[in-house]
Each structure stands twice: as structure tokens, then as C-alpha cells.
Structure 1
């Protein structure tokens, strides 16, 4: 496959990258770079590999079986009780979870525009929500995909230019790929991995590949799309972390990513502030669009509804998620209790989904020759152990134990 053909293959994978590089990732990467310098770059590398492993399985499941992950999860349980529990977990963790995070996505993107224009983010937030709603309402998958690919490109260029302007230490960057855990870094390590390996992206990917490709013969293109897109997403995260690492002395605390662009200005000039703000806007808008879409795919699949982008129930799900974000962004507040609930639900769901993925990807009656190979199972097992650890840390952290 030529380079041009590989670029043309990019699609659903770019939507996954657009979803995980949101304001949460920008914040976490910025905080990590400012506090620990280049020491935790290895965490990004691990996160990229882990995401590729799980997303490839999810995409392969969708392409081979023509089922979304929600349908697969519901149909594998004959007993009503586990079926009900699985549906409840999906709807709560993905549906309510994406609604809880939506305000942060919109406010993050609005903060970038506010820095550039001087207009309040409480004005930009609802406007962003409206534009995202119009884009989703078209029900045109190709249009949505192209818009998100374009924004990922803008985001990548913006953060890369910032990293170049700031002049990071290349030697220190290379040293950051050597795993080490500085004192007090466990929490941000958990955050970096947790903002990249995202549960709702598994639902988004399994469904979106069916919109893009119609045959299992396209699996090669699908894998190319997955790997390239997620690696690009990892480089964007790396650019954000290295920008913060180069700009601030180790140990600096960044409380609000919306102010980081302003903090960069006296260090490297107005251009750095503008590029960072553009990148933050693109990160917020792409996540504000993909989160409702993922929530709708997951909820519709789990409940056995039609996964048609133009159906009334599908639109009702993403519309509700988007409306929650718009309302809270207009108020300028974040639904803290809902986010705490979403963290708990996602902390429980992600390990379950990872285990379920490995289980179903070894079902030869469903997948035939496309079942997992031994190396894929080993990699999946390692990733699952890590996400179980992340889930436990999330629960213990919220419970106040750690």
C-alpha cells in the first residue's frame, strides 16, 4: 500500500484519536510535563500501544461480524440478569458518562476561542454545541468523518508548531521513553493512560468501521487506519507534554489548562499562545462531537435499537448528551457529581469490556479465521491487567482510600 493509499484509508481511527485528544488529555499532558518534565513520556508510548491493541480488536469485531460492541455484549448473555447488568453498565458508563464529560469538552474548546478572541467562553460554549449538533444532525457519516479528520490535522499542526517554538530538549525526550516512576507521579500516570485508553471509543470504533467499510476484505485498510491514527494521536499528546516540559521548571503546578496558553506568551511570544489556543479549540470541538456519537452508538446497540444516524431514537441520545454539555457550558460550570459517577462507572466498565473483547475475539464460531492470535491474546491480557489496575485506582481514589 502506497503512502497516498494509506492516507486515504484514514477514517474511523482518526475519529478515535479525535475522541481521546480532548481537553482532558490536553490538561493531563500539560500538567504532567510541567510537574515531571520529560520523565513520563514512556507512559504515552505505552498508552498508544494499549489503545492500538484494544481498538484493533474492536474494529475487527465490527468489520467481521457487522455488529457494534453494544449488540455483541447484549447478545452474548442468555441469562436475563447478566444481560440486564451489562446493559445497565453500558448505558450508565457510556451514555451518562459521555454526557458528564461533554461540558468539559465544550468548555475546553471554548476556552481556546476565548483566549484568541477575548469573548467569554460561556458565549463560545453554546455556539460550539450548536455547530456540533448541526454536524451530527446531518446524519452524513462521511461529512462528520471528514470534518473531524480536518480538525485533528489542525490540532496536530498547532501543537507541533508550539513544541517546535518552545525548543524542547531532544536528548531528554529520548530519555523519557525509559520507564521510571518519580515520587508522586502515580496519579498522573493513571490519568495519562486513562485519557487515552477510553471505554466509549471501543463502542465508537466497532460501529464506525461499518459506516466506512462493507467487507472483511477491507481489514488491511482498517488496521492501517487504526495504527496510523492512534500513533498520530500519541504524537499530538507528546507535543503537548514536551511543550509544557520545556516551558516550565520541573515541579510547576498548572491548575487551569485554559490559562496555559496565556502563560506561554511571555515565554515564547504571541504565536505560541495562538497555536496552543487553536489546538485546544480543536481538541474540545472534536471531543464534543465524538462523545455524543459514541454515547448514541453504545446506547442504541445495548438496547437493541437501530444504529441509524438519522433515526429519531439515535438522535435523541446524542442530542441529550450534547444538550447537557451545552447547558452546563452556558452556566460556566462542570457537573462534578455526574463526572464522579462517570469515573466510577467507567472504572468498572473498561476492565469488563477489555475482558469481554478478548473473550469474544477468541470465539471461532463468530469470527472464523479472524479470531485472536496468541500474541494478540498476550498483548490484550497485559493491557487488561493495566486497565484493571486503573479501574481499582479510580475507585479507591474516589472512595478516598488513596
Structure 2
């Protein structure tokens, strides 16, 4: 790629993506592999959060509880798709110096850009609803705080995020990594206690024909549909630019792409392992009780029920589960706010203070959760149902995010020498088309269930 090509493309962005943190993290020059990797590590963790948020938990655990290790291969395939998409998102940001929202806005007119902004905002709010619900339920389970009260308390994390931004972007990354490590450690411990079948796990890693049976396929769609989320692609294309890279030096750009890919893949492998642990936990502890585990509270209480948790149940395990849920919700809260700022500035060139952006997004997300909690008597089951329905927006928005990303990174005109290899483009298009079909099937299924329930 010539320097003139990507500079001409980048100059149309108007503003730098996340200007307050863009190019603020120094990277060593001519350093060894591990030192350089450490400098580039961090953005991948913020992205990985979206692949292990509360929206993934129920589908993975119930998948194990109902079909043992059968759907483990689906978790792995979802992780591979995530790696491909996030690699392209980071590369787009580093090479063009534009985030995905800026790149799309540059190639579309104002009305189309506005429509895509609204759709993306709805997806971010749908994601935020999942975090509100996860946080409120965790507070209820840990401290017996009423669900409505817990929902309102989640608004206070606005101030938490403001505090974190004062510490610098590297500190935010460190806190997110700590929370991820907490989640990972808890589930490794729970799975170790459950003594899963090693042979069953090995067999589950191989795709089997039973996956395509109706009920199994529906749950597989849920696992895949809850994995790749549109906001993560916008986020990664922006925060990959937080590293100080001299774009006049093609070797530095090439190094940034290489180490950002390492960072992303390492973190996403970790997220895939967490999702696999969730499914393994469901298979090892709760197989045969899948119909009784449709809500977070069901899982919490099952871990202290010896009849279900097969002799290892204890209140400590239940508490650890709730702590992991709370950590998951707080993690995704941080990334959701950053993504909201990225798409607002990229699509409609509007800047607002971060505290206002966070407060508005959270209040809008809180409203439907409070209504659901009040109308249905503040029951956790109602909130779990709302969490499932919120995934509809994510499913609808996904192709409008994936398709432009694949097109940009597969264009020689846009990416020059950094254009996707042919095999990457083929896998990406197959993934995009397949995920679009699967997500719309999931939407249809959810709508049918809703109509039947009404």
C-alpha cells in the first residue's frame, strides 16, 4: 500500500477516532517479541469482553445441560469466526487510520450514515440491556437487593467509568484484564470440581450430524448468534489505534498489524475457552436438568443444590458464580461506552462529553428493564426473557457491520499491500453469509416464541 493511498483515505475522516486516547500508548522500537507483544496487548482484552458477556452464559450452560458436549464444536467455530473478524477490524483501523464507522460514513451519503448510526445505537443499547440485567441479577443474588433497585444502581457505573478514564487507557486495559482473569479463574475452578469427561470433551470438539436436528440446531444458533456482536468490530477498529505508530514507516505499520493480531487472537482464544468452560460446566454438573436452568437465578441456586450439582454443591460455588456474573457485566459496560462514542463521532460527527454519552446510553437501557421488572412483578425470569429478546437487535445489525468490514479489508484500493489474503476473504464471506442466515433464523424463532407466549 502506498502512503498516499491510505493518507488520502484517512484524511476524509474529519476527526481522529477516540481522539483523547489515540496514539497515546508508546511502543518500543527494535525490541524483542515479548516486550513488543506486551506493549500491544490490551485492545484484544476489551474486545474479548464482548464474547463472554452475560448474553452468552445461558446459551452455553444450557447447551451443555441439555446435550452434554455435543455443541462444544459450535463454541470453537464461533471463536474462529471471531478471530477472523477482529483481525480485519484491527487491521482496518491501523492501516487507514479510520475506525469502521468513519470508513462506512466516508463511503455513504448522510441519510444512509444516519440510518446506520441509529441501527448501531440500537445494537449498543441492546448490549447494554444485557449488562444492566446481568449486573442487577448479580446484585440481587449476592446482596438480596431488589431487582428494580439493582437496575437503578447500575446507573452509578457512569461515575466508575469517568474515574477510569482519568487513569489513562492502559489502566482501563489492566482493569479489564483483571476482571477477565477473575471470570476465567472462577470457571476453571468450577469445572475442575465438576470432574468432566475428558473423552466427552474430545468428542464434542468434532462437529457431529446431530447438531442439525431441530432442537440442537436452535440452541447452536443461539450460541453463535450471541457470540459475534457488531459493536466489537467498531470498537476494535478504533482502539487498535491507541498505539503510537509512525505511519510514514511501512515497517512500523506492518509490525502494528502483526502484534495487534497476536493480541486479539490470544485474548479471543481465552474468551473461547471461557465459553467452552461454561458449556462443559453445564454438561458435567447439570446434564438432565436443562429444563430447570433457564435463568441466571436457576444456575445460582443449582450450584448449592446437591441433587442437581452432583455432590459438590455449596453456597461458596453459588457466590463465585454471581461474582463472575457481576464482573462480566462491569467489563462489558466499559467497552459499550467507548463504542457508543466511536459510532456517534464516526457516523454523524457529533461529539458529546463521555459522562453525558454514558448517562444517556445507560438511562435508555434502564427504562425497558425497569418496565419489565415492574410489569412482571420484578421477577428474574422476566429479565432473562428481555435479555433474550434484546439479542434481536444485535442479529439484525450484524450483517450491516460485517459486510462493509470485509469489503474494505478485501479492497486493494483501500488496503494496498495489507489487503486480505484470498483465503481470509473467502472464509470471511462464508462466515458473514452463514451468520446472517443463522441470525435471522434465530430472530424468527425468538419472535415465534414470543407470539406463542402471548
After TM superposition, the score normalised by the length of structure 2 is 0.79
d(CA) in 2 for partners of 1:350 and 1:61?
18
Select the residue among 186, 191, 194 that pairs with 1:166.
194
**Deviation of 1:118 (Å):** 3.2
Q: Does 1:259 align with 2:286?
A: no
Q: Report how many aligned residue pairs link the two structures.
A: 392
1:275-314 alignment runs, 5 A limit: 275-305=320-350, 311-312=352-353
d(CA) in 1 for partners of 2:397 and 2:422?
25
Q: Does 1:116 align with 2:142?
A: yes
Partner of 2:79: 48
**Deviation of 1:344 (Å):** 4.8
* Cα pair distance change 1:276/1:345, threshold 3 Å: closer
Partner of 2:433: 385
Question: Are 1:110 and 1:284, in contact at CA under 8 Å, matched by a contact in 2?
Answer: no
1:221-240 alignment runs, 5 A limit: 221-240=259-278
Question: Are 1:42 and 1:178, in contact at CA under 8 Å, matched by a contact in 2?
Answer: yes
Question: Are 1:113 and 1:124, in contact at CA under 8 Å, matched by a contact in 2?
Answer: yes
d(CA) in 2 for partners of 1:332 and 1:3?
49
Structure showing greater Rg: 2
d(CA) in 1 for partners of 2:180 and 2:342?
21
d(CA) in 1 for partners of 2:38 and 2:429?
31
d(CA) in 2 for partners of 1:348 and 1:39?
27
* Cα pair distance change 1:30/1:7, threshold 3 Å: farther
* Cα pair distance change 1:329/1:172, threshold 3 Å: same
* Cα pair distance change 1:395/1:357, threshold 3 Å: same
* Cα pair distance change 1:148/1:136, threshold 3 Å: farther
1:2-401 alignment runs, 5 A limit: 6=37, 9-77=40-108, 80=109, 83-89=110-116, 91-136=117-162, 139=165, 140-180=168-208, 181=211, 182-215=213-246, 216=253, 217-250=255-288, 252-253=290-291, 254-266=293-305, 267=309, 268=312, 269-305=314-350, 311-312=352-353, 315-327=355-367, 333=373, 343-398=391-446, 400=448
* Cα pair distance change 1:74/1:393, threshold 3 Å: same
Question: Are 1:97 and 1:338, in contact at CA under 8 Å, matched by a contact in 2?
Answer: no
The C-alpha deviation readout for 1:238-272, integer Å capped at 9, x for no partner, is 11111111111236221211331221112322332
**Deviation of 1:366 (Å):** 2.5
Question: Are 1:296 and 1:315, in contact at CA under 8 Å, matched by a contact in 2?
Answer: no
Question: Are 2:66 and 2:290, in contact at CA under 8 Å, matched by a contact in 1?
Answer: yes
Structure 1, unaligned runs of 5 or more:
none
Question: Are 1:93 and 1:349, in contact at CA under 8 Å, matched by a contact in 2?
Answer: yes
**Deviation of 1:330 (Å):** 5.6
Question: Are 1:126 and 1:327, in contact at CA under 8 Å, matched by a contact in 2?
Answer: no
Secondary structure of the residue aligned to 1:67 is coil
Question: Are 1:137 and 1:315, in contact at CA under 8 Å, matched by a contact in 2?
Answer: no
The C-alpha deviation readout for 1:57-91, integer Å capped at 9, x for no partner, is 011001111111111001012xx3xx5234313x2
After TM superposition, the score normalised by the length of structure 1 is 0.88
